[in-house]
Structures are given as C-alpha cells and as structure tokens.
C-alpha cells in the first residue's frame, strides 16, 4: 500500500462518496476506486460498503480510518514543521477555533504576533464545536485548536490558558438584575437561552444542573456564546454563559452579568498534537495568545445598578 492509497481512502470515508473525492482530486471515479481496492486486496478485508446514497466504512474500515487519520496527520504535521524550519521566519500558522474566540481571546495577540513576524501567514478556520476543531487537528489540517477543554483525547495535548467563571446574563430590567449573585434555586423553571447541545460547555452545564436537581426550560437555541448574551441583553430570556471579557464594563448598560459561584468554571485553551514537536512559529503564536490572556483576567464583579 502507498501513502496515496491511505490518503484517498481517508478522503472517501470523510466524504462518503467516491465521485466527490474524484472531483476534489481531479481524477476519475475508477482511479479513486482502485486506491481503495488495492488496500482491500492487501488486507484481505472489505473496507467500504456501497449504498444508494454513497459509501460507508465497514467495521474494518473504521479501524483503518482512525489509524490513518492519526498517522497521516502526524506525518503532515512533521513535514510542515520541517519545511517551516527550512524557511526560517517565513511560513504559516493554521488555527481552528469558534467564530467568536478571536474577538474575545486573540485580537491583541494577533496584532502583536504580526508585528513580530510580518512574513508569517495566519490561517484561521472556523469550527462549529470543540469536537469539530479536534477532528481538524487530528486530521492534520491545522497546527493549533482553541477549544473549551474537556475530557482527555488520545493523541492530543490540551494546554489550559484561561479559566472562565459562569454568569447569568440578564437584561437590566430583569427581576434578578439587582442581585449580586445567583443561586442554583434561582434557575429552577427559568426560561434559558440554550447553548448548542453538542458543545462541551453545554454538556458541562447540563451535568451540573442535573446534579443540582435544577430543570430550567431551554426555549431558545443559539450557536455561540455571543448570540446568547445579546439575546439576553435584548430581554428575550436569560443565559447561563461564561464571563467573556468583551461583554463586561460600561459598554453594555442594558446587560447584567450575575456571578454563579456554585458552578465550576470552564477552562479554555490550546489543543495540539505534541508541544515538543510543534513548529516554532505555531508555538510562538500559542505563547503570544497565552501571554495576552494572562494580562486580561476575567473576574466577575457585582453588577452596577443605574439610579432611576
């Protein structure tokens, strides 16, 4: 078998279609099929099953797909690092993260890094969830993933950078707005704006609420923290969210962020394949972001209440 056979097989598993991979590679569907058949002949196993709407990996195919994603990702990462070392300060750093993370955690660091390394290209890829970002990292598509840290992931190094306390975001005219903190009982039967079901932050929140015996009503669904806070500010509900720096201060007179001290905070930071083999430019960018985050802690102060 060849690396090309493995790359094409992995692409077929991701796409679920021989024809789609053929279009991406600008070759015939027969040529794509030959790569898969060569692997099947050598292994003596069927790796994909054909269905009317495409192809899916067999049990054996799933095993190989997992190994290929990890192995080829490591090879591609090593080749990029070697090429980066050969170029010196030129090259690129590929980062995947959520849509709002750059605004809240990286804006100053991006400016700082660009001033220090003007010849380096920063390539940002938006991930819809931490899981999506980790998949891109495992496949070797990116160097760094900024995620909400959760359970350990095999082959991935998670490095915490910022601890974020939870708050209840409410409009200034909400009955709870004058409180200096929120207790678990205050959330019972509350109409909350829900974070994405598949997100790490939502999973951790649901776990805490379940253990506390609290059952709020999630009657509005959003895809990111910023949207949840904005809707709360507009009076469309309450939102349990991390305390994001950009939403604090006098710029949002219609918003209150009420501390939830009984709820264990979230940790966000970097995920990468291996810190010791991370390219020098990617390591410099990761360190720059961590340094800037360290200068901007996110304590939650009691809300200020405007005098009528």
Identify whether the C-beta of residue 238 lies closer than 8 Å to the C-beta of residue 168: yes
Cα 91 to its chain centre, rounded Å, is: 24
Cα–Cα distance measured from residue 169 to residue 193, given in angstroms and rounded to the nearest whole number? 10
CA dihedral 95, 288, 271, 225 (to 10 degrees): -70
Please state whether the predicted TM-score (pTM) of the whole model is above 0.85: no
The H or E element containing residue 123 is strand 120-126
Q: Please count the other Cβ atoms lying within 10 Å of the Cβ belonging to residue 198.
A: 12
Cα–Cα distance measured from residue 129 to residue 114, given in angstroms and rounded to the nearest whole number? 27
DSSP secondary structure code for residue 103 in this structure: I
Which ranges in 16-117 belong to alpha helices (H)? 18-25, 29-43, 59-87, 101, 107-116
Cα–Cα distance measured from residue 255 to residue 251, given in angstroms and rounded to the nearest whole number? 9
User: What is residue 88's predicted lDDT score, i.e. its pLDDT?
Assistant: 57
Task: Note down pLDDT in tens along the chain; length 308 residues.
Answer: 888 888 899 889 888 999 889 988 889 999 999 999 999 999 999 999 988 888 999 999 888 888 887 777 777 766 766 666 665 556 789 999 987 888 899 999 999 999 998 888 899 998 878 888 988 888 888 999 999 998 888 888 999 999 999 999 999 999 999 999 998 888 888 889 988 777 888 888 888 888 888 888 888 888 888 999 999 999 998 999 999 878 877 778 899 999 999 888 899 999 998 888 788 889 999 999 999 998 543 433 333 333 33
Name which of 237, 235, 243, 246 is nearest 217 in CA terms.
237
User: What is residue 302's predicted lDDT score, i.e. its pLDDT?
Assistant: 38
User: What is residue 147's predicted lDDT score, i.e. its pLDDT?
Assistant: 93
DSSP secondary structure code for residue 135 in this structure: H
Phi, psi of 146 (to 5 degrees): -95, 115
Identify whether the C-beta of residue 176 lies closer than 8 Å to the C-beta of residue 235: no
* The two three-digit tokens of residue 201, written as one number: 């932050």
Cα–Cα distance measured from residue 159 to residue 133, given in angstroms and rounded to the nearest whole number? 15
């Amino acid at each position: 078998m060849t690396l090309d056979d493995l790359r094409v097989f992995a692409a077929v598993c991701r796409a679920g279609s021989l024809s789609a991979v053929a279009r991406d590679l600008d070759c015939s569907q027969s040529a794509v099929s030959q790569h898969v058949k060569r692997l099947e002949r050598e292994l003596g196993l069927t790796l994909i099953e054909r269905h009317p709407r495409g192809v899916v990996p067999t049990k054996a195919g799933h095993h190989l797909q997992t190994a290929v994603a990890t192995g080829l990702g490591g090879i591609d990462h090593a080749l990029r690092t070697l090429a980066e070392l050969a170029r010196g300060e030129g090259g690129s750093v590929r980062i995947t993260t959520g849509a709002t993370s750059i605004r809240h955690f990286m804006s100053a660091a991006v400016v700082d890094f660009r001033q220090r390394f003007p010849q380096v290209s920063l390539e940002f890829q938006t991930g819809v969830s931490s899981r999506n970002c980790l998949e891109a990292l495992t496949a070797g598509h990116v160097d760094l993933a900024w995620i909400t840290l959760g359970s350990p992931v095999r082959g991935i190094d998670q490095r915490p950078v910022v601890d974020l306390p939870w708050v209840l975001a409410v409009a200034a005219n909400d009955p709870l707005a004058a409180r200096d903190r929120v207790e678990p009982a205050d959330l019972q039967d509350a109409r909350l704006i829900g974070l994405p079901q598949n997100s790490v932050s939502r999973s951790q929140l649901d776990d805490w609420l379940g253990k506390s015996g609290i059952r709020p009503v999630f009657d509005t669904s959003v895809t990111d923290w910023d949207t949840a806070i904005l809707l709360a500010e507009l009076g469309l509900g309450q939102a349990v969210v991390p305390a994001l720096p950009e939403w604090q201060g006098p710029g949002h007179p219609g918003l209150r962020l009420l501390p939830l001290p009984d709820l264990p905070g979230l940790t966000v930071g970097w995920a990468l394949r291996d810190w010791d083999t991370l390219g020098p430019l990617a390591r410099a960018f990761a360190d720059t972001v961590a340094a800037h985050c360290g200068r901007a802690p996110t304590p939650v102060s009691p809300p200020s209440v405007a005098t009528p």
